[in-house]
């Protein structure tokens, strides 16, 4: 459905930012999102310069009943930040992070990427716990929860969120925090893409200086059991400063399938050496990349391998335990990942600062898990789409008997009415439905894991 040029004039009069239409030369670049499985053709892509533009674009869309997609970093795995025939409100010009070093806070605009918050905070010896690929959007990541390598010490990204300003479905600019609209602030922290367009976030920052000890110890997949044992011990006995993950990855480039343990230790180098001695004593590694490096270097390490333009599928769950039979099952599945794709399993240590926040404090569900685990697969050839998706589904099915309550909304790629109930559980889902009825009863913001009003 095209928007007629005469009609578009009504928007251009009220809108200061860029407007991209299907016949404009930049249209194909503007409509692309991170996951190249997603190929949609919006009627308009608009790039607001500020909240007045956001209000104008939203009003224009609502008057014409255009479907609305909201974009920050464009990393939504199921492609929620684009649409066919509707309007994409691409917040990328509204970006940047301002730090108040005295109050230890950051004000981050709604179209910013993680790198902007990381860089600005580190310039003052401060940090906000965020995700591990620095071209991910602050907005999408935060509104769903926000996992990262500092989570056992500093919690999820939402646990450092002080306030948001958002444009609501009826075009008002509203602030939500513990003191203002507290129920909305509860819902924003875990189901946040449902309630409005966030124009700015305010975060509490934490003192964080000096290098971190970060890297991966790699073994042949035959040692998966032994490595999993070592991983469980690190999770249980390691300090809050130690983030760790266990991985299994398919064979690529002539290398056989592998088992890995990755770590980021944010304590002193001496403490890291002591806490990682057991892992590094295993010997006969294929590779050991654990070393001291600046925090920002670790935050950029996966930017290139996870660059835009690849095809990607994932399924995740929270686990109550990581039993041996599951590790063996996954090792077997990883060895059978489709040729031409990079498939793997990633299991992250959960708990500590995440579990210290009571489950009922935020809409985010799953704080009580022992682990977060995901089957992830990356490929380039469209002919492999079906095989790769079914590989990820099968690997996720193996985890199902060990899953605990909740799902991480930012990973969920299934669609349907009951999906939100599965993510949040019955009680929180009902509370979210009441909130949705109050703030977006017409379901203007439906391109998300939708809370149906």
Which stretches of the chain bind ligand FAD, using CB under 6 A?
34, 70-77, 80-81, 91, 110, 131-133, 136-137, 139-141, 143-144, 146-148, 193, 197-198, 306, 410, 447-448
Closer by beta carbon to ligand FAD, 42 or else 140: 140
Q: Which is nearer to ligand FAD, 282 or 296 (CB)?
A: 296
Q: How far is the CB of 353 from ligand FAD (least distance, A)?
A: 15
CA distance 247 to 263: 11
Which residue, 71 or 223, is less far from ligand FAD as judged by CB? 71
- Name which of 99 and 166 has its Cβ closer to ligand FAD: 166
Cβ at position 89, least distance to ligand FAD in Å:
9
- Which pairing describes strands 212-220 and 291-293: parallel, antiparallel, or unpaired? antiparallel
Query: What is Dmax (Cα atoms) for the chain?
Result: 71
Tell me whether residue 305 or residue 323 sits nearer to ligand FAD (CB atom): 305
CB of 85 to ligand FAD, least distance (A): 16
Please tell me the distance from the alpha carbon of residue 142 to that of residue 187, in angstroms, as a whole number.
12
Residue 422 Cβ, how far from ligand FAD at the closest point, in Å?
17
Q: How far apart are CA 215 and CA 432, in angstroms?
A: 39
Residue 110: CB minimum distance to ligand FAD, A: 4
Nearer to ligand FAD, 230 or 396 (CB): 396
The least distance separating ligand FAD from the CB of residue 383, rounded to whole angstroms, comes to 22
Q: In what order do the strands lie in the sheet with 173-177?
A: 97-100, 105-109, 197-204, 161-167, 173-177
Identify whether the C-beta of residue 161 lies closer than 8 Å to the C-beta of residue 142.
yes
């Amino acid at each position: 459905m095209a928007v007629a040029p005469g009609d578009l004039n009504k928007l251009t009069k009220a809108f200061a930012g860029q407007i991209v239409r299907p016949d404009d030369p930049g249209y194909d670049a503007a409509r692309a999102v991170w996951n190249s499985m997603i190929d949609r053709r919006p009627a308009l892509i608009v790039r607001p310069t500020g909240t007045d533009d956001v209000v104008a674009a939203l009003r224009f869309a609502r008057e014409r009943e255009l479907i609305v997609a909201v974009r920050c970093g464009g990393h939504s795995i199921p492609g929620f930040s684009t649409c066919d025939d509707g309007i994409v409100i691409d917040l990328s010009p509204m970006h940047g992070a301002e730090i108040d070093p005295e109050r230890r806070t950051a004000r981050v605009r709604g179209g910013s990427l993680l790198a902007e918050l990381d860089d600005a905070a580190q310039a003052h010896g401060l940090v906000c716990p965020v995700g591990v690929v620095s071209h991910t959007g602050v907005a999408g990541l935060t509104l769903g929860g926000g996992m990262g390598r500092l989570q056992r010490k500093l919690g999820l990204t939402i646990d450092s969120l002080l306030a948001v300003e958002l444009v609501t479905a009826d075009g008002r600019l509203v602030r939500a925090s513990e003191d203002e609209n507290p129920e909305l602030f509860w819902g924003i922290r875990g189901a946040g893409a449902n309630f409005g367009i966030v124009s700015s976030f305010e975060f509490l920052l934490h003192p964080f200086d000096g290098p971190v000890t970060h890297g991966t110890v790699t073994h042949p997949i035959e040692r998966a059991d032994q490595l999993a044992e070592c991983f469980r011990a690190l999770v249980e006995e390691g300090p809050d400063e130690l983030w760790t993950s266990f991985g299994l990855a398919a064979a690529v480039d002539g290398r056989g399938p592998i088992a890995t343990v990755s770590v980021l230790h944010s304590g002193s180098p001496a403490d890291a050496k002591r806490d990682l001695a057991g892992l590094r004593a295993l010997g006969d590694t294929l590779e050991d990349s654990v070393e001291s490096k600046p925090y920002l270097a670790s935050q950029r390490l996966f930017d290139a391998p996870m660059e835009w333009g690849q095809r990607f599928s994932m399924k995740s769950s929270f686990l109550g335990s990581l039993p041996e039979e599951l590790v063996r099952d996954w090792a077997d599945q990883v060895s059978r990942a489709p040729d031409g794709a990079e498939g793997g399993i990633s299991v992250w240590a959960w708990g500590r600062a995440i579990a210290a926040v009571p489950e009922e404090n935020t809409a985010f569900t799953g704080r009580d898990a022992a682990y977060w685990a995901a089957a992830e697969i990356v490929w380039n050839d469209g002919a492999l789409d079906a095989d790769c998706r079914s590989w990820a589904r099968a690997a996720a099915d193996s985890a199902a008997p060990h899953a605990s309550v909740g799902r991480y909304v930012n990973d969920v790629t299934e669609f349907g009415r009951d999906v939100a109930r599965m993510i949040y559980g019955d009680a929180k889902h009902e509370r979210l439905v009441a909130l949705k009825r109050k703030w977006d009863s017409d379901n203007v913001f439906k391109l998300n894991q939708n809370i149906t009003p």
